[in-house]
Structure 1
Amino acid sequence: MPWPLLDRWLAAAPEPARTDWLKDHHYAHRGLHGGDVVENSPGAFAAAIAAGMGVECDVQKSRDGRAIVFHDADLDRLTAEAGPLAARSVGELTRIALRGSGERIPTLHDLLAQTRGAVPLLIEIKSHRDRPVSSLCAAVRRNLEGYGGPYAVMSFDPRVVRWFARQAPAIPRGLVVTEQGRKGWRGRAGRHFALWQSCANFLACDIRDLPSRFAAAQRARGLPVLTWTVDSAELLDRAKNHADAPIVEGEGVA
């Protein structure tokens, strides 16, 4: 299979001016969290801003179609509530306290008001393979309209990335990739097919997979490669050698 030729044809590399800024930062994974500071919380984002780091966050869709900053599909791990986040309205969700914290679940609108362009944002859009993605993608785009700072969207789901390629092509868009459990020929083909479907401008690769032939090939032809989750000094060294920017937490921050 002529992978390089098909990659260039079906997922052209972006103009460097659109994406080179992604390489200039370390990104705090779900904000700078730990101890009493909860992931994806205003406090975690404030700590990242104070440290001059970029912010990586996760976005889910509320029952009424709003973009909510939260990693899990269910509320159980991070709050005293239970059940799927998607079953609650934005009003219900923003009244829920994050576990062990006086802070509440923020919306993407809240996060944008907090950062105000001070640091770059990576917005990972969470999806469900059996559900449409357009409503959440449109909600994210609405929130970003008129926002003055640098930002990019990304997702494991090629449909999400493709939506932005078609509906908001000016927004930098990335494909999140892991090769775990997918190391054979089928996995390799699947990564290329996902790239072609998504028309991604950059990759966010699992640090456990680096060095990776797939990531190196895309990086060589002009797609920035970010890597997650870099949580140790050893992995930070690996990221420096095989990626353009790390998404860090814990000991990886230093």
Structure 2
Amino acid sequence: MKIVAHRGYSGKYPELTHRAFDEALKLPIDGVECDVRLTRDGRLVVQHDKTIDRTSDGTGLVAKMDFEELRQFNVGTEDDPQRILLLDELLELMQDYPDKELYLETKHPSRFGPEVEEQVAVRLRYAGLHEDPRINLISFSHAAMRRFARLLPALDCYYLVDPRDARWNRNHIFFSKPAGVGPSITQAKADPVLVGLRGMNTYMWTVDDPDDMIWCRDNGVDVMATNLPELALETLR
């Protein structure tokens, strides 16, 4: 089972920062996970929330700010200030760790619609990673899955299962035809059929309890995302 650091080593360092990714990549784990959003001027930044209020000393919507505006805010700590990352910068860091994988999530809904996936494809091509098997694409959006299949056909896509899906899609039929399925640990324990559904690989999020880590290993999970990668290493050792 692969261990992936969710938003970098976010259990110890500010999430999605250069520090969080660098510290995670130094560990003997398999990779890291990130989220990306588009700024007003069309730059792809590594950011989970639609605003920067929770993760920085600033405030505002990412989609309504230019990259240089966002770059002014501190997304780290007072003692270790960090600036919001471009996806390009994270991809450059990944080049220093050729044995590590990246699980890249596009956030939706977005005012930019398909442009999010289009820009991901452009940046991956620019970095020479558009056919690299270490790059995996993940999203809660079936539309994003279909765009990825068209724009980046060589890469594996994981559909992240929204808990609301069970209300209308009890049979877990995914017309976007992802290569893998990504339920939460809570969903998977309540509905174990999601693990290995129809022969697909399983990406499990976000697993921080040691008992759940062992459950993932013993139930055939392929990829486990955790905020606590060192704890996962100790638990599974």
Which TM class, normalised by the smaller chain length? 0.7 to 0.9
- 1:162 counterpart = 2:146: yes
CA gap of 1:63–1:114, structure 2 versus 1, over 3 A, is same
Please report the TM-score for the alignment, with normalisation by the length of structure 1.
0.80
Deviations 1:50-96 (A, max 9, x none): 00321011111111222110111111000111121111112222332
Matched, 1:91 2:68: yes
Structure-to-structure mapping, 1:1-254, within 5 angstroms: 25-35=2-12, 37-53=13-29, 54-100=31-77, 101-116=80-95, 117-128=98-109, 131-145=111-125, 146-147=128-129, 150-179=134-163, 183-184=166-167, 186-188=168-170, 191-192=172-173, 195-196=174-175, 198-211=176-189, 212-216=191-195, 219=196, 221-242=198-219, 243-250=221-228, 251-252=231-232, 254=234
Runs (4+) of structure 1 exceeding 6 A deviation are: none
More helix by percentage: 1
Letter in 1 for 2:179: N
> Residues 234, 134 of structure 1: CA spacing in aligned structure 2 closer, same or farther, 3 A cutoff?
same
Q: Please, what TM-score do these two structures have when normalized by structure 2?
A: 0.85
Taking the aligned partners of 2:224 and 2:37, their CA distance within structure 1 comes to 23
Aligned residue type for 1:209: Q
Consecutive unaligned residues in structure 2, runs of 5 or more: none
SS of corresponding position for 1:175: strand
Q: Percent identity?
A: 27
Contact 1:52 1:119 in 2 (8 A): no
- Say which is worse superposed, 105-114 or 162-171, in terms of deviation: 162-171
List runs of 5+ in structure 1 lacking aligned partners.
Answer: 1-23
In structure 2, C-alpha distance between the alignment counterparts of 1:119 and 1:228, rounded to whole Å: 18
**What is the CA deviation profile of residues 126-179 of structure 1, one whole-angstrom value per residue up to 9, with x for unaligned ones?**
1116x4532111111111111257111110011111101122211211100133
